Amino acid sequence: MKRPPTPLLGGLAILGLMVAFAVAPDVFSPYDPLAFDFSALLAPPSWAHPFGTDQFGRDLLSRSISAAAIDLQIAVFATFFPGTLGALLGLLIGWYGGLADAVIGRLMDLVATFPFLVLVIAIVAILGPGLANMYVAITIVGWVPYARLMRSEAMVQKNGEYVAACKVLGYSTPRILFRHILPNAIRPVLVYAVTAMALAILLGSSLGYLGLGAQPPTAEWGVLIADGKNFFTTAPWIALFPGTVIVIAGLGFSLTGDGLADLLEVKR
């Protein structure tokens, strides 16, 4: 008995399109995203330029498509690094408990008390703007929810009788942790990570908007919106269309996350 996974398919379709844009932007872009066209400055949406153009006459559809690669990279990296770090730490403190749990637990509380964005901005400000430093900052701040999810799930799993059976069979601790507990405990983390990818794009865009993430002239959806902010009253499409793209991409991740949650549900 399986419900038709319509939301999952919808989500995957959106993400598939994003990946296609990222892999082969030239196939989909009608224009060079960096080429200036002084004959069509701030052109409103038309058949020639469906998303319009910016103040340098660059085609916004092409720029939005070429930004997919960078935004997809942000979505993946800004969840993969903190997710891996958090899941690993959560697994270890969930398993060992005791002092390690107490110390890292307090550290998690400490990180969680700071407003997320403010802390990321502070760290990027120290390290200097740019994508690499942005990933470092997001990892430093963003591992906490993954660690919490993994810790609580690992604590449930480690009391399962199958883990006792593993111990009685003399299995090593790494084997028990990574072959037995991790696959059974990973589901909430994976589901959260996919949903968090939508937030990561928003975060990357926010940082791009603030000039702390991707640097011009690289096309990135947040940067595109930032570019459009001065023309919002005269040429609203500059900000509006990249904004819509962000929303659709976010929807894609959310739907996929929900679908994944159903799909990964373990049968007992």
Partner 1 sequence: MTVMLAIRNLTRRFPARRSLADLLRGRPRQAVHAVEQVSLDVHRGETLGIVGESGCGKSTLARCLVRLHTPDAGSLAFEGADVLALEGPARRAYNRRVQMVFQDPYSSLNPRLTVGETLAEALHVHAIVPKADIPARVRALLDLVHLPHDAAARRPHEFSGGQRQRIGIARALAVEPHLIIADEPVSALDVSVQAAIVNLFMELQDRLGLTLVFITHDLRLVRHMTHRVAVMYLGRIVEVGPTAALFAAPRHPYTQALIRAVPQVKPGRRTTEAAVIGELPSPLEPPPGCAFHPRCPLADATCRRDIPVLEGRGGAWDVACHQA
Q: Please give the C-alpha separations between residue 172 and each of 92, 107, 118, 140, in angstroms, as whole numbers.
A: 14, 29, 42, 31
Of the two residues 163 and 255, which places its CB atom closer to partner 1 in the complex?
Answer: 163
Span near partner 1 by CB under 8 A; candidates 6-14, 69-77, 163-171, 229-237: 163-171
Q: How far is the CB of 166 from partner 1 (least distance, A)?
A: 8
267 touching partner 1, by CB under 8 A: yes
Give CA–CA dist 117/130, Å, rounded: 16
174 touching partner 1, by CB under 8 A: no
106 touching partner 1, by CB under 8 A: no
3 touching partner 1, by CB under 8 A: no
Query: Could you give the maximum distance between any two Cα atoms of the chain, in Å?
Result: 77
247-266 binders of partner 1 (CB under 8 A): 266
Q: How far is the CB of 264 from partner 1 (least distance, A)?
A: 10
Give the count of beta carbons closer than 10 Å to the beta carbon of residue 46: 11
Angle between helices 187-209 and 60-96 (to 10 degrees): 140
26-32-35 Cα angle (round to 5): 165
Could you say which of 175, 211, 216, 262 contacts partner 1 (CB under 8 A)? 175
SS3 (DSSP) at 124: helix
Q: How far is the CB of 89 from partner 1 (least distance, A)?
A: 22
Q: How far is the CB of 106 from partner 1 (least distance, A)?
A: 20
Q: Give 132: exposed, middle or buried? Use CB within 10 Å, 0-12, 13-18, 19+.
A: exposed
Q: Give 115: exposed, middle or buried? Use CB within 10 Å, 0-12, 13-18, 19+.
A: exposed
Give CA–CA dist 218/68, Å, rounded: 11
- Number of C-alpha atoms within 13 angstroms, CB side, residue 34? 5
SS3 (DSSP) at 267: coil
Could you say which of 30, 160, 211, 217 contacts partner 1 (CB under 8 A)? 160
Of the two residues 114 and 178, which places its CB atom closer to partner 1 in the complex?
Answer: 178
Which residues pair with residue 53 across a beta bridge? 59
4 touching partner 1, by CB under 8 A: no
184-213 binders of partner 1 (CB under 8 A): 184
Of the two residues 2 and 268, which places its CB atom closer to partner 1 in the complex?
Answer: 268
Span near partner 1 by CB under 8 A; candidates 27-35, 50-58, 167-175, 253-261: 167-175
Residues that bind partner 1 (CB under 8 A): 160-162, 164-171, 175, 179-180, 183-184, 266-268
